[in-house]
Amino acid sequence: MVRFPVLAVSLSVCFLVVSLGCSDGPDEGPYVPDNGWNNRDLGTNPPDTTDVQPDTYRDATDTSDDAEEDYGGWIPPPLPDYGHDDQTEPDGVTDDIDATTDDTNTTPADNFCRSFADCLADEVCVFSTGECEKRGTWTEATPALYGVHPTEVAAGDVIVVDGCRLMAGGLFPKQPTARIGSVNASGVSADENRLIFRITNGQIGPLSVSVYIDNAYKGYTYPVPITAAPKGIIQCSDKTPMASMVPGDRPDISGPYAAGYVDLAGRDDLRTRLYYPAQCGSIRRPPIQQDAPFPLVAILHGNGAIHLQYEYLAELLATWGFVSFMPETQQNMAGGDFQEMLEELMPVIAKLRGRFLDDVHEVLAGVQTTPEIAFIGHSRGTGRAQEAIGADADLKAHAVGFIFLGPVDDGDTVPGQFMVFGGDLDSQSPPLVFNKVYKQQGPPRYKIVLPGGNHGSFCDHKVYGYLGTLAGDKKPTIPRSLQLQITQRFSLPLLQRAFGMDEPFADVLDNAPGTSDFTITRDP
């Protein structure tokens, strides 16, 4: 097994699950997160009391005189200045975006987040931009826009728009539409809280999204306009995080590099986003150059949601020295014909595995990947990973690790290091399923169970609650950000071990005790 430099880390492959969209479930009232969750140890490393800003929840509502004492000598910064002005659509429709939900983050350039603990409990850290963005946890009645990235684009780039209640209701919910300036976006893919589309020539200006609600389309405009970026490599600036060259002291804190990414559009690439270690963060940034290849991770989605739902893993892993990719795949079901899906997926894997990526994208010149590969899957995506290694003996021989998030049970075993995550409120992959998947794998294997976690919260921003609890999901009792952060903390050490890398966080796998936030079962 090749041993990589100490600062390299591997990336995970994730998968998405089914969603058809039905009427909203019963109104259980708004979820109020625990104001102290970010200060939890999660059973890994002790808090770093030497940090200028220790991992505490930034409760900016505490304006009392003893606030400094409450936070161990650190006064929490004020909340970002969110804008909530009335937005005027190009067609003249004016819509007042609800100021309670339209939280457009304005993280200052000199204060980029490096961990979810740097953000509020209803936010995540987008590692490529260093910004905290709001995320929904359960169903919403009123649409809103939360964040857009990137906002500086050229033709071929893919824009990710996050919000809430972008699509919901009925067996055949109406898709949202989008446009930049006066140009309609084509090829929009969407689920309840996220939509994506590829940029064509000439698309700059205000970004507006039209959502079907109350039997009509209503428009919402994002306050930050889309501007033009140069083609090819975009040079670093102070707008996004620079590679610190200093690794984080926990596996859920960014590593020494920045998170760069490119969107591939070749015939065999379908719609694939590839993440890589970069000199600075965001789209098409200069890559880190090193003599050794970077470990390769495939992230495969499941059914019913767009494929770009695992940035929280892909970007974190890029900062630790991994190359990962998230391809759009066919949404086939158990017992179906996987051949057509494999005919599209396998060329993408072959094009990215064990080679220099100079011909994949001009930005990736000099970037090399290992022939070894790890897979991260969510829901039906776990089955697609098993189908992929079953269809190619060489691929299976070089598969070194698997991480299953809310898995399906196809009865197959996988080689290498294995880790499964389950939420006890997951209606699509309930304990009966993820426990069975764990038992049928051989060691080394690990199982992480999240009390209060559900199926959709393994995704960056997916909600399955609109399906109802029988076919969709149960309402979580923990913040999405906590579920994602725990997933990060165990995924990175597992992948480092799978690729034979240096293991600064070995104790997370070997000695971390269970807590009220998770339980861990080991069979190393």
> Tokens 């609800």 label which residue?
98
* pLDDT at residue 93, as a whole number: 35
Distance of CA 427 to the CA centre of its chain: 21
| Phi, psi torsion values for 292, nearest 5 degrees | -80, 150
What is the reported pLDDT for 170?
A: 65
Contact 482, 121 (CB under 8 A): yes
Among candidates 69, 66, 104, which has minimal Cα distance to 85? 104
Q: What is the pLDDT of residue 383?
A: 94
> Amino acid letter at 137?
T
Instruction: Evaluate whether 7 touches 319 at the Cβ level (below 8 Å).
Output: no
Q: Where are the beta strands (DSSP E) in 357-416?
A: 369-378, 399-405
- What pLDDT is attached to residue 336? 67
Domains of the chain, CATH where assigned = 258-523 (3.40.50.1820)
Backbone angles phi, psi at 323, to 5 degrees: -105, 130
State how far the Cα of 511 lies from the Cα of 44, in Å rounded to an integer: 8
Q: Which residues of the chain have pLDDT under 50?
A: 1-109
189 to 77, 128, 455, 472: CA distances (angstroms)? 37, 22, 20, 20
Q: Residues 6 or more apart from 2 whose CB is under 8 A from it?
A: 292, 293, 370, 372, 499, 500
Which of these, 174, 244, 256, lies nearest to 209 by C-alpha position? 174
Which amino acid would we find at residue 243? Answer: A
The region that residue 102 occupies, defined by phi over 0 for left and psi between -120 and 50 for alpha, beta otherwise, is beta
Only one residue has tokens 């049970």, namely 409
pLDDT at 15: 32
- Dig out the tokens for 51 from the structure: 């940090």
Whole-model pTM above 0.85? no
Q: What is the pLDDT of residue 391?
A: 96
Other beta carbons within 10 Å of 215: 6
Model pLDDT, residue 8: 30
With 0-12 CB in 10 A as exposed, 13-18 as middle and 19+ as buried, what is 280? Answer: buried
> Cα(38)–Cα(54) distance, rounded to whole angstroms?
10
> Are 128 and 426 in contact, with CB atoms under 8 Å apart?
no
Question: Which residues share a beta bridge with 521?
Answer: 447
| DSSP category for residue 118 | G
> Structure tokens of 241?
């995080």
* Dihedral (Cα; 248, 250, 255, 261), 10-degree rounding: -140
Strands 369-378, 323-327: parallel, antiparallel or unpaired by DSSP?
unpaired
Partners of 164 in the beta sheet? Answer: 144
**HEC readout, 79-109:** CCCCCCCCEECCCCCEECCCCCCCCCCCCCC
Per 3-state DSSP, what percentage of the chain is helix, strand, and coil (rounded to 5)?
Answer: 20, 25, 60
